[in-house]
Structure formats: C-alpha cells, structure tokens
Chain A
C-alpha cells in the first residue's frame, strides 16, 4: 500500500541546536500532519498543513516549531532551538481530502526518534 517515509529514523542533537525532520508523504495526498509520542505515552497531535498553510495546531506546537513543504518536496518539521522535552518520536502522516464523507485515512510514517541531550 501507500507509504510515508521519514528521514532520518533517529537523530541525536544537543539542546539548543536546530533540527529538521523530513517526511516524504504519499504522492497524491494533500493534507499533512505531525504527531509527537513520548516513550510510553499517548500519541499527540501537533499540527496539520494544507495548501501551504497550517490549518490547525495544538498547544504542543510551540513557537520554536515550524512546518513547510516547499515546492512539493519533503514536508518538514523544524525545531529551533530544541529543548530536552522535545525528545520523542515524531510521526508524519498524510491523507487525501475527506470528500465530505468523513473518510480520510491517514497514512503514517515509521517515525523519527529525536533525542535531545
């Protein structure tokens, strides 16, 4: 089936540095999402993105976070500067529009494990 790819699979950085997480969504999808999952905890929504704009974001989407998808390439999540509490697995997802039927299966990538030291 359709695949979402995430690069890198694991990233280790020092606190205060900038990091960019890359997501290669399913080719014909138009909605893009980032979720955060701290080890052993529930997955939580960060942000969704459509037509070059953030559609909705949660309180976890701090000012240090930004997303973009320049020219239809990777959908990226940038954190600048990073903090210790940003250590988590970040999952990217993509979907088609719902078409009014409420059905918009989100396809998830395998996640990027971010470790902030």
Chain B
C-alpha cells in the first residue's frame, strides 16, 4: 500500500519556484517526512526531512500541514541541476530502517 501520494510530474522554468505536494493521510505520530531526489544514472540524494514544524535548508523549504496529512517541498530559483525525481518518504523515528521509494514526482526544468 502506498503511504504517500505525489503527482507524476511537474514542469517549471529556470529561476521559478516549484511547489511539490505530497499527501500522507495515514501518517503515524512517530513517522518523519523525508524527501530524497534522484537524477538519472545516480543514487538518490537526501534533500530534507521534518516531523511537524516547517524546515529549511540550502536545498529546499519543507512546509508541513498542521494535521501532518500533507506536506509541500518548495524549491526556489530552480536551475537545470534541480531536474530530478523527488521522492516523499515516511520513516519511523529512532530506527535506521529502509527507505521505501515510490515513483515520485519528476521535475522538469526548462531553460
């Protein structure tokens, strides 16, 4: 059973801001929201994670709904290097468990 739901693809233009939605209506209280991205022919790369509060780092801003049933990864001023498949993944806290990848959202960045 898929625990997260993401759109198949989103298209943007260089310099724009991209909002990537993720729905996780059955999230448990001890599950963190992780985002990874993968470009072709490379391994996945960690983007960010959060539990309840919005978080920000050099790669992205993660907005988490107050009921935690959805989140949005926000990429500002995207460049061609941001073109990748972005995966929203739920993971239980306190345990170095496996990542369960879905099909993710393919972000297309046009010059």
- Determine whether the beta carbon of B93 is less than 8 Å from that of A102: yes
Listed stretches A12-20, A67-75, A76-84, A89-97; interface member: A89-97
- Determine whether the beta carbon of A100 is less than 8 Å from that of B94: yes
- Determine whether the beta carbon of A111 is less than 8 Å from that of B32: no
- Determine whether the beta carbon of A42 is less than 8 Å from that of B103: yes
Count of chain A residues near B, Cβ 8 A: 30
B73-102 contacts to A (CB < 8 Å): 91-102
User: Which single residue of chain A is at the shortest CB-CB distance from B104?
Assistant: A42
- Determine whether the beta carbon of A110 is less than 8 Å from that of B43: yes
Give every chain B residue within 8 A of A35 (Cβ-Cβ).
99, 101
B45 at the interface (CB under 8 A from A): yes
A107 vs B103: C-alpha distance in the bound complex, in angstroms? 19
A104 at the interface (CB under 8 A from B): yes
* B interface bracket (residues with beta carbon within 8 Å of A): 20 to 34
Give every chain B residue within 8 A of A110 (Cβ-Cβ).
41-43
- Determine whether the beta carbon of A4 is less than 8 Å from that of B97: no
User: Which single residue of chain B is at the shortest CB-CB distance from A111?
Assistant: B43
User: Which single residue of chain A is at the shortest CB-CB distance from B49?
Assistant: A103
- Determine whether the beta carbon of B96 is less than 8 Å from that of A97: yes
- Determine whether the beta carbon of B97 is less than 8 Å from that of A48: yes
- Determine whether the beta carbon of B94 is less than 8 Å from that of A108: no
User: Which single residue of chain B is at the shortest CB-CB distance from A107?
Assistant: B46
Give every chain A residue within 8 A of B97 (Cβ-Cβ).
48, 56
Per-position 1/0 for B32-47, Cβ under 8 A of A? 1000001001111110
Minimum C-beta distance from A25 to chain B (A): 12
- Cβ-neighbour of B43 out of A31, A50, A93, A98 (below 8 A): A93
User: Which single residue of chain B is at the shortest CB-CB distance from A95?
Assistant: B96
Residues of B within 8 A of A (CB): 30, 32, 38, 41-46, 49, 51, 91-103
* Other contacts beyond A106-B99, A108-B45, A110-B43: 8, CB < 8 A: A35-B99, A44-B101, A55-B96, A91-B44, A97-B96, A98-B95, A103-B49, A105-B46
